[in-house]
Amino acid sequence: MYSFFIDVDTNNNVVLNTASVGTLTKPALSIAGRIISTKLIKSINVYHLFDSSVLDSKLKLTEAKNLTQQLSLGVEMNPYRFDIELSQRDLVEDLHFVVKAEIDTVDGDNVEQTIATGFIQPVKLPEKVVFVVGSPRSGTSALGKACRKALKANAHGESHAVQGVNLLMETADSFFQQSRTANIKGNLVNAIPKTLMLAEQLNVLRRLYRLYYGDLVHLDKTPGIPMLAGLPLALMAWPNAKVIFCKRRGMENIQSRLIKFPKVKFEQHVKQWKQSFVVWRKTKQEITQSLKHSQWFIEVDQLNMACLPETVANDVAALVDLTPRQRNVLFKQLASDDKPEQTSKEASKSKSLADFGWTDAQVLQFKDVCSKEMKLQNYSVDEKYFLDDQSVKEII
């Protein structure tokens, strides 16, 4: 099996119509999209990133005048569509490529403009990769344990490894892409592209998980905002991964946080609850755009885990493609009283905002920070828990 990643130069008005992240059964990659240029483009080609040799590919570049009106382009803009079929034989190590357009300048000279870079990696992906994420105190421990039992997964209580490697990538990007040293031609760091560093870190990340979890199942339960921000990196490493986002109404989540983490200020708990959804929404949009589909995740509410464990088990089973036996194990664990990290035996009883015993200042602060997100998530402030039976559509 192979995985791929494509990075387009959006500054040069390049848009992909095909996925930029995914898997391949053989090293043959289709790339399609559009490019808008103030210059006339004569042709496109695909080169090996390191030795600049021309790679075996089928190329098609066509003028797309219909885009002029659709995109309200000025007369000086020239829109094109491109289709690339890049194929390799017996690929045994990472293939790094660059797509360049040949530009016809006014003075007759030809210059090349990079429109995309990327790589194809030979990989051995596990049969199942599952990430259980969400705001702390939203049921990630309960669902993570149920998934661990169902999949018989060798997993830790929490991972945070993706979060750590994502921080490494942010630091590397800062130095290799933005530092004064990296901007000096002739230095090695100036020659190392972002996609090469990414590919190497993906190899490291996959190897770490394989060493600890084997070749069949990778189960990662990591709550918190940093993990939500790191999910795009995780889906680059494992494009076949499934993500379960655990969520909980603001009042119950914050009350549970106050019990579990009493030294943290009320204001911080309130802001973190909201920010978890903000980051998750951004992450969903980014990953869905990269994969060109949305069948990689589901959202599970903690109240449904407590009150409708069979429904939750069915949803998880459909996402992860569990066998009937695995689904039954998952359901029995969710329906049991064995709830790790549970701070209250009344998890299934909903209360109104006034019943939590918060001060007037805390109630005002909660409403000020969380009211909009509460509505977006279809949450009420009374005993009903949900505003209505139909989920409110999220604004992305």
Distance CA 383, CA 247 (A): 18
Residues of the chain with pLDDT under 70: 12, 106-108, 338-348, 389-396
Both tokens of 7, joined, read: 């990075």
Question: What does the buried/exposed string (b/e) look like for 179-190 if buried means 16 or more CB atoms within 10 Å of the residue's CB?
Answer: eeebeeeeeeee
40-71 tens-digit pLDDT: 888 899 999 988 899 999 999 998 888 888 88
Distance CA 21, CA 200 (A): 16
Residue 292: which residues within 8 A CB-CB, separation 6 or more?
Answer: 18, 19
DSSP for 48-107, written as a single string? ETTT-PBPPEEEEEEE-THHHHHTT--TT-EEEEEEEEEE-SS--S-EEEEEEEEEE-TT
Q: Is the full-model pTM beyond 0.85?
A: yes
In the 8-state DSSP scheme, what is residue 45?
A: E
Q: Provide the H-helix boundaries in 65-219.
A: 66-70, 140-151, 161-178, 188-191, 194-213
Domains, the chain, ordered by start: 2-122 (2.60.40), 128-350 (3.40.50.300)
128-142 tens-digit pLDDT: 999 999 999 999 999
Residue 11: which residues within 8 A CB-CB, separation 6 or more?
Answer: none
Q: What are phi and psi of 81, to 5 degrees?
A: -115, 145
Q: What pLDDT does residue 389 have?
A: 66
For the CA atoms of the chain, what is the radius of gyration? 24
Q: What pLDDT does residue 264 have?
A: 93
Q: What pLDDT does residue 72 have?
A: 85
The secondary structure element, H or E, covering residue 21 is strand 21-24
Q: What pLDDT does residue 9 have?
A: 76
